[in-house]
Amino acid sequence: MFDAALRRLIDPPLNRAGKRLASWGVGANGATLAGLGLGLLAALLIALGEPALALAPLLLGRVADGLDGAIARASAPTPFGGFLDILSDFIVYGAVPLAFVLADVEANGAAGAFLLAAFYANGASFLAFAVLAEKRGMETKAQGVKTLYYSAGLLEGGETIAFFILLCLLPAWFAPLAWAFGALCLVTCAARAVLAWRVFGA
């Protein structure tokens, strides 16, 4: 919901940093993999019962995730780079809730399973819309220059990262927060399905 406005704030400094890193020979795929590694480290710390310590690698990983696109734009974007970026995002988005479940299966299992199912449905709606938009030749730069068409929704990347930060700060509240966020993910999925019906026809 807030990603378009957020992009206007973060893209200029990210693009400047991306140009500098590209001039130093840093590759976009390397930044993507660094973000993935940091995200998985954060998930490991959460699973080990250290969510507060997970905040630093989680945030650094998301910065790397923002820098990979900036580096690509400053050098030579590739379709595989876009694929790797999306794949890495989805892995981290799945690993963090799973880590909270592993940290306390009894307390977090049901809510975590619901959250992951909601992520799955929302991710499927996002990717399916992007595929159909590509076939129609649709483009948008509302969320920045992307490999795939990004359809806006109630919950997007910015809200998801804010949610993960909140979980790390309030791990005892994982279950109610997961139920609530999962429900909002399903609302986003339903809204995107309605949008697809309107744009592409029944």
Number of domains forming the structure of the chain: 1
Tokens representing 198 are 């309107």
Range of the domain at 83: 3-200
Question: Is 147 a residue whose pLDDT tops 60?
Answer: no
pLDDT, residue 59, reads 96
When pLDDT is averaged across residues 27-36 and rounded to a whole number, the result is 96
CATH of the domain at 50: 1.20.120.1760
Quote the pTM value. Answer: 0.86
Tokens representing 100 are 């909270």
Question: What pLDDT band is residue 93 in, cutting at 50, 70 and 90?
Answer: very high
CA distance 135 to 133: 5
Percent of the residues in the chain that have a pLDDT greater than 90, as a whole number: 59
pLDDT, residue 144, reads 47
Percent of the residues in the chain that have a pLDDT greater than 70, as a whole number: 88
> H helices within 75-156, ranges in order?
79-103, 105-136
Question: Is 134 a residue whose pLDDT tops 70?
Answer: yes
- Give yes or no for a contact between 111 and 174, defined as CB atoms under 8 angstroms apart: yes
